[in-house]
Structure 1
């Protein structure tokens, strides 16, 4: 009886240690926005004839990643919507208005991941909640692992690129830009510095 109890106790202790060890393996990273090694870009068709391309200049975020348990990965990104930049001052003023981003009422957009599925060959799918213009909707992001390693300054970095598409109407943006301009494509280039 004592032997069984001791064996069970040792097994539980080892299992708990293994769980703690596996959780501890996840590395936390801060997205390197100060060094401009990350970007959030968007593009939308203009009248069906060309692409209008822009970006958000001010954002921050962090992520955690464990190569042995990629499914435990997490990402949080916060975006200052007033930092929208389409390389045209008057258009950017319109994009900040109630017709689009309504930045006075909703100065921040954010993304919080809920799940991460490793597809192999450096590819993955991440599902999370995107809050924009006061609306929160789930989005699926196609992720590609770019690489990881030491940097010249004694740090360790890891990078990903993610792409997704969102419908303007899903975020209460009702301005009619024509049938070819209802979907926005987003590209997130994320380089993180390990903490």
Structure 2
């Protein structure tokens, strides 16, 4: 009988720990999230921009960080460097080839608590038909009730990719990703 009670208690605590992670939808409608990038322009300056259209969700529990998950889908045709001619070129088959590869995705497989609100989010980033491991160095910004009766959590993160690893015809080196994510608990 004691074994059954112990097993039930362990199962219940496991279920409660798993169930305590909250699910969030990334707030793109309210423009409280952004996926930005910076890249060297021929070694003379920095080209900055963003992807205007993306969606995603995450699960997060500050008391059980390792149970967290992140999923993001980016509309590659929403590439925006604030220069229409350059944007058209980057969307072409020299780079993103948006007619063949309309989406880029990130799916986490591990979230690690680094202490003091810092996280390492490891997952698979797929772009231009190529999937590569990616680690996002993230920091917790905050969480709590919002003025509209909801509950939100926010994070910032950075990572770097190498264009050559994703099979672009043109390779101008490394691209820094700068992420600002705010989610609304469901």
Normalised by the length of structure 1, the TM-score is: 0.94
Number of the residue aligned with 1:41 = 36
Residues of 1 paired with 2:144 and 2:64: CA distance? 18
Alpha-carbon shift at residue 27 of structure 1 (Å): 0.4
Residues of 1 paired with 2:23 and 2:111: CA distance? 15
Alpha-carbon shift at residue 176 of structure 1 (Å): 4.4
Aligned counterpart in structure 2 of residue 183 of structure 1, from 163, 170, 174: 174
List gaps (5 residues or longer) in structure 1. 1-5
| 1:119-138 equivalent positions in 2, closer than 5 A | 119-138=114-133
Normalised by the length of structure 2, the TM-score is: 0.98
1:168–1:174 CA contact under 8 A, matched in 2:
no
| 1:1-195 equivalent positions in 2, closer than 5 A | 6-177=1-172, 182-195=173-186
List gaps (5 residues or longer) in structure 2. none
Rate the CA distance shift 1:153–1:170 in 2: closer, same or farther, 3 A. same
Residues of 1 paired with 2:148 and 2:108: CA distance? 30
Q: CA RMSD in A?
A: 0.7
Larger radius of gyration, structure 1 or 2? 1
2:164–2:171 CA contact under 8 A, matched in 1:
no
1:160–1:191 CA contact under 8 A, matched in 2:
yes
